[in-house]
Structure 1
Amino acid sequence: MSNKPIVMVSSYPPRLCGIATFCEEAREFIQKANPDREVLVISHTDGQGEGVFPIIDMAQRDWWRPVAKKIEKLDPYVVHFEHEYGLYEYHDPRGVGDGNDGFLDLLEAIGNIPNVVEPHTVHGRLRDAEADFIYKLTQRSHLVLFKCHYQKWRLDWTFHGREWPTPRNIMVVPHGARSDKRWGVHEIPVLRREFGLDNIGLADHVVGMIGWIQSNKRWDILLSMWEDIHNEIKSRTGQDWDLLAAGAMRDPNHRKDYEEWKSEVHMLEKKGIAHYYEFIPRGDDYYKIMAVCDFIVLPSIDETQSGTLARIIALNKPYITTAPMEGLTAQTLESEGGLLFTTKEMLHRKVVKLATDEELRLELGKNLKRYLDHVVCWEVVARQYNEAYKLARKAARTGQPVVLDLEL
């Protein structure tokens, strides 16, 4: 039994997908926490790498059948699913989706094998289809992992309102963040030179908007007021602060916003107060570009959890983000490492406040270091995964469902 592998089911690089990147990083630390086991991945057909089986073909209605057969053949210690609705949605020739029925069929097919499902989108206010899916998911899984505590207590409220029993096999495990990507102040000049940022005239102090350029990220909010913010900071401190907008488009459906926002940055660039840097937000470059910033603005308006925020936390970078906004707000309150805004005027005030108060930036950074080291670093999260695996295995062995305490 000690040699049985841990099998993850997920999208996987080189796919440009947040879940794929998450799985790659989670796999690294699950492997470190389980040196006596292989950690294998069953991925979509575009996944690649050692120990990766790219067999999920969403063009097939019964895509889940070969996945179930592969899982049975691998005879795993546990199966760990990364779930996002779009990853497992089959569309028929009319373009009509199946509501992730194939994913539920897969869980039923491997019901005797210990399994853990980690859904990456669990809204606080569930739509009817989402509530139905979560109910069916918890019935077919040995253990379900939510990212935030609010998701669990909101689910209790939602299910009570529908007169449904509240699932008790839900465990909260936060989005992991790396603890090995922190650069000291003395190392930042090297990073700036590495990306040629000194050559483009980037100021000594930098506000960053970094990551995939998507419509929900709403870069336009800060871009529309940056000139006024820049001038106010300059008048108060005498310091030049630049806005660094860095990233790339991932989804062609967001091309219109991508082009418009990039154009706005270029207009600010001509005034010498902002810069655009195009790069693929993956790997070390993602962390390094963020590291050169004094703080980050993440003005997202639809986010239940965020890989971008995980990187911000990994770097202990003070940040400003939208509220009330699901996991962004929850982690900001729990970490005490960022500021929140809910109107344009508030965003203006908070950016100026953070730029003009170095002590506040240091305090928020220290809070994030504490939160990273003790709550969300991958080493801690991997130990929680291992506890989840044990619970799932016990449920599979005994036939007795996992029963955990409610949140509130």
Structure 2
Amino acid sequence: MGTANRIRNVAFLSTYPPRECGLATFTQDLVQALDAFDDLIKTKVIAVSNGDYYNDPRVMTVLSQYDKWSYLDLAKKINESDIDLLVIEHEYGIFGGFCGDYILELIKNLRVPFITTLHTVLPNPTFKQKQVLTTLGAASVKVVTMARNTVKILQNVYGIDSSKIEVIHHGVPFRLLESRDKLKKKHGYANLNIIATFGLISPGKGLEYGIEAIAQVVKDHPNTLYLILGKTHPGVKSEQGENYRQKLAAITGWLGIENHVRFIDKYLTKEEIIYYLRLCDIYLTPYLSKDQAVSGTLAYAVGSGRVVISTPYLYAQELLGEGRGLLAEFRDANSIAKCIKYVLDNPDKKSEMERRTAKLGQNMLWNAVASEYFELFLKLTGDSKDTGTKVS
């Protein structure tokens, strides 16, 4: 069989459902989109596990997150398998060791080419964080990043050759749903301005500033409701319990806006995320870190064609340019409130922002994103198993 027609086996190393994290959902969505795209690519998953149980037939094996020997054993399994290409979905917190450096034990012993897809790109990494990503980048045949503004960081900070770097959007799902007004009415939100934030809750999300902004907005727009959707991040909960959520609830009480802020304490399914984005008027991300290179929640909001108000972290600056949203100052409730009021006071401007956002969102739908990965995989698995720079 010629290389043009043979099936390529591509394995993804990542967290995977039922584990509750954005990376797991991302990987599940990508492999499903690839499976629906073309039968020349056969996808498999190697699940990074912390005691999770998997019943998805795509999961070929697991990697024990905190067991260093598991990384060595996995390299052997991959080398002896029919896998043509490995895709490492990289996030510092999902691999064991110091700054996730156990992943280096895997790639040092791997004889199959691999791509590294980056979910975090730090412009000012610690020494160890830089070492891990620099080593991964040197050994990868390609490095995929989801934001153009990270390309120079990868080149200048991590020394990754520009020829290796590919920019592919974070994918977003598409669903045909009823209109915003119909969904609002169905959920008891008729005639309300709905502002929403979703995702795993942690102090870095800056939600206290969003709540303080709502206290100002409701003075002029009393029909406004802020939905804070999501459970506390498991890592935060294990260390601090529900302290942050309780702090947010207390702020809401002190400001006397209990009727204007609603906490929905659950891990949202993909369908629920899409549903809430469809019915909301404004999506808000008041994050505190200016260096955040990628945000899955922001990608979903843009993919849904929603007006986004955000603090100006890297990814927000990139996605919300050209009139697709508004940027507020970091840690500044007054600035956030001013942006919200502008949108609510100017429905024509709101509609224009939604049109601009929806246009970009079309390029971020999973079928479009899967097409780009598909072409990349075919190019890399044509007739060579040559890896990048060998790790010593």
Q: Structure 1 length normalisation: TM-score?
A: 0.83
- 8 A contact 1:142–1:396 mirrored in 2: no
| Counterpart residue identity of residue 337, structure 1 | R
Distance in 2 between the 1:356 and 1:249 partners? 33
- 3-state SS of the aligned residue for 2:262? strand
- 3-state SS of the aligned residue for 1:121? coil
Deviates more, 1:171-180 or 1:383-392: 383-392
- 3-state SS of the aligned residue for 1:38? strand
Match of residue 170, structure 1, among 159, 165, 168: 165
Distance in 2 between the 1:245 and 1:139 partners? 40
Q: What is the total number of aligned residue pairs between the two structures?
A: 374
| Counterpart residue identity of residue 19, structure 1 | L
- 3-state SS of the aligned residue for 1:53? strand
Return the offset for 1:281: 2.1
- 8 A contact 1:135–1:167 mirrored in 2: no
In the alignment, which residue of structure 2 is the partner of 1:272?
A: 259
Distance in 1 between the 2:83 and 2:385 partners? 14
CA 168–3 in structure 1, closer or farther in 2 if over 3 Å, else same = closer
- 8 A contact 2:213–2:334 mirrored in 1: no
In the alignment, which residue of structure 1 is the partner of 2:287?
A: 300
In the alignment, which residue of structure 2 is the partner of 1:33?
A: 37
Return the offset for 1:308: 0.8
Match of residue 22, structure 2, among 18, 21, 28: 18
In the alignment, which residue of structure 1 is the partner of 2:86?
A: 79
- 8 A contact 1:16–1:250 mirrored in 2: no
- 8 A contact 1:5–1:76 mirrored in 2: yes
Return the offset for 1:368: 1.4
Match of residue 367, structure 1, among 356, 369, 386: 356
In the alignment, which residue of structure 2 is the partner of 1:219?
A: 207
Aligned Cα RMSD in Å?
2.6
CA 269–394 in structure 1, closer or farther in 2 if over 3 Å, else same = farther
Between the two proteins, what is the percent identity of the paired residues? 17
Match of residue 282, structure 1, among 265, 269, 294: 269
In the alignment, which residue of structure 2 is the partner of 1:185?
A: 180
Show CA shifts across 1:364-402 (max 9, x none): 1111111011x322122112112322343359446788x
Distance in 2 between the 1:211 and 1:116 partners? 27
- 3-state SS of the aligned residue for 1:86? helix
1:380 and 2:384 aligned = no
- 8 A contact 1:249–1:258 mirrored in 2: yes
Give 5+ residue unaligned stretches, structure 2. Answer: none
1:357 and 2:346 aligned = yes
Show CA shifts across 1:171-212 (max 9, x none): 1112111233554235424xx53xxx42xx775221222232
- 8 A contact 2:113–2:388 mirrored in 1: no
CA 366–55 in structure 1, closer or farther in 2 if over 3 Å, else same = same
| Counterpart residue identity of residue 282, structure 1 | T
- 8 A contact 1:143–1:391 mirrored in 2: no
- 3-state SS of the aligned residue for 1:178? coil
Show CA shifts across 1:289-347 (max 9, x none): 22221111111123321111122122211010011x121222222x6421101133321
In the alignment, which residue of structure 2 is the partner of 1:155?
A: 154
Show CA shifts across 1:50-98 (max 9, x none): 22135211232222123223323431232111111111123xxxxxx2x
Q: Structure 2 length normalisation: TM-score?
A: 0.86
1:337 and 2:324 aligned = yes
- 3-state SS of the aligned residue for 2:163? coil
| Counterpart residue identity of residue 248, structure 1 | K
| Counterpart residue identity of residue 110, structure 2 | I
In the alignment, which residue of structure 2 is the partner of 1:313?
A: 302
Distance in 2 between the 1:40 and 1:87 partners? 19
- 8 A contact 2:63–2:71 mirrored in 1: yes
In the alignment, which residue of structure 2 is the partner of 1:6?
A: 10
Distance in 1 between the 2:114 and 2:333 partners? 44
CA 395–355 in structure 1, closer or farther in 2 if over 3 Å, else same = farther
